[in-house]
Chain A
Amino acid sequence: MMKILCILLPHFVLTCELHRRPGLEGRPVVVFTPGPGTGRVLDFSPELDGLEPGMPLEQATALHGEVETISADSPHYREVFEQILDNLQRVSPLVEGAGAGTAYMSTEGLELLYPETARLTGAVRASVPAGFEVKLGMAAGKFPAYLAAGRSRPGECRSPGSDLRAFLKNIPCAELPVSARSRAKLVAFGIKTLGQAAAVPPAAMEAQFGPEGSLIHRLAAGIDETPLAPRPPREIITRSLEMESATALTEVLLGGFERLLLGIFSLLEPKNMGLSRADIWTRALNSECREKSVFFKSPAMEAGTALRRISQMMETWPQPGPVEFLGIRATGLGRPGARQKSLLPEVRSADHLLGEISQLELKLGGPQLFKFKEVEPWSRIPERRHVLTPLSR
């Protein structure tokens, strides 16, 4: 039976920051995403109790006053995670990335390469850079595998075992991947564990929770038939540069983007490929990052075309301050679309041809070109059925 391996990298964002800033090791850190107000918590040091992802930063700093706050650098985290997914795809081609720090891998077809589970998990751990904690769980579905990974010990690949219901019985409903409204409603009904949710008849669950009720019931019973959506192999070109001096001038920033685009297109031109999507990002002096995706209706085949589009986009993309770093990730590459030419390039060519045929006829004293025409297709006498008539008539 096919099994799915869940790879969890707890505190992935924080670990990315610690890799870049070793000086933060041992200090309480909160990584936040800028937003309305002071921002929202994205990740935090494990020892900081009471914090949750999505919590307002103000609330987090009120709970723990002496924390180091770092603005999130989403492009960097994405780049690191994509690299990890690339490494995992060398173990199995069927890998799905489910958000920063979570991946699923199908073990189908790996029995000959990795006869024992220990060898497979060893290869998976070797695909993750040192410094990241890796938790593994294996089950028949994604949700049970995720729960098993969350409860695995260091170096272990946890499996729910033969009695799936017993494994899920005491797991809190807060771990269900459903809307916050449904989770709150479950608590209001006194349904706190997956075992209690599985005991509710499915019809009753659907009556109270709608379509999510059916999902809640199936997941609580350990049934997750969500297929793995394998990550397609793709080519991504990344370029970045550090400005000579931080600036907020659009013209200077465009000059920087132009340099990056020239580098990208120097790789694409020999392959006759263009840019259909690019993620551009900037990082300001105050460490705030901005990121935006640029889409091209038809692939841009030269740097000038791409730059014009980026220039238009920058008119409505204010920067948080003088920009120190900027970069482009070419995430969508493509070839120019084919164009169907008209089958009749000269609309009046038929008229010209008939004119030439009439001229030939007059010059030679009689019709020279004929066409096959049905006259009496029903006739029993074969030679009466068709005739040749002059083409110009």
Chain B
Amino acid sequence: MVPHTGKAPCTDTVKPVNQPEPVAVKEDPGPVPLTLNRRPVEAIRDRWRIDDEWWRPNPVSRLYFAVTLAGGRCLVIYKDLLTNRWYRQPY
């Protein structure tokens, strides 16, 4: 058996889940996504905005879109209104 080192467990061993992934989106001035990774957006099923954690150094301000791509695939994407970057949101 390997001897126990006696060290305390580290909190950085906690791993995040469902982290957003950067995506390439072509948008119109709305902003409304027109293509996602060069695939046309066929429909926008829903849209909402969250503004949170304003008390933190890195607040959260996002504009969400639930989209349907050509081919039928459904995704949730958002535009980070602070960095103007687009991400895909897994659940």
Chain A: residues with CB nearer than 8 A to chain B?
359, 362-363, 366-367, 370, 372, 380-383, 385-390, 393
Contacts and interface: CB of A to CB of B under 8 A. Distances in A.
Contacts of A385: 18
Contact of B2 (A362, A367, A390, A393): A362
A362 B17 contact: no
Interface of B: 1-2, 4-5, 9, 13-20, 50, 52-53, 60, 89-91
Given A359-B1, A362-B5, A390-B9, A382 B15 contact: no
Give chain A's interface secondary structure class. mixed
A255 B57 CA distance: 95
Contact of A381 (B9, B14, B50, B90): B50
Contacts of B60: 381
A381 B61 CA distance: 10
A382 B1 contact: no
25 contacts: A359-B1, A359-B2, A362-B2, A362-B4, A362-B5, A366-B13, A367-B13, A372-B17, A381-B50, A381-B52, A381-B53, A381-B60, A382-B89, A382-B90, A382-B91, A383-B16, A383-B89, A387-B17, A388-B14, A388-B17, A389-B13, A390-B13, A390-B14, A393-B9, A393-B13
Given A382-B18, A382-B89, A363 B13 contact: no
A359 B2 CA distance: 7
A201 to B, nearest CB: 76
A380 B50 contact: yes
Contacts of A363: 2
Nearest to A365: B5
A337 B64 CA distance: 60
A383 B9 contact: no
Contacts of B52: 380-381
Contacts of A359: 1-2
A387 B18 CA distance: 9
A387 B50 contact: no
Contact of A383 (B1, B5, B20, B50): B20
A369 to B, nearest CB: 11
A385 B5 CA distance: 33
A383 B2 contact: no
Contacts of A382: 18, 89-91
A386 B18 contact: yes
Given A359-B1, A388-B16, 16 more contacts: A359-B2, A362-B4, A362-B5, A366-B13, A372-B17, A380-B50, A380-B52, A382-B18, A383-B17, A383-B18, A383-B19, A385-B18, A386-B17, A388-B15, A389-B13, A390-B9
Contacts of B91: 382
A370 B5 CA distance: 21
Nearest to A367: B13
A393 B15 CA distance: 13
A387 B16 contact: yes
Contacts of B5: 362
Contacts of A366: 13
Contacts of A383: 16-20, 89
A387 B13 contact: no
Nearest to A372: B17
A203 to B, nearest CB: 73
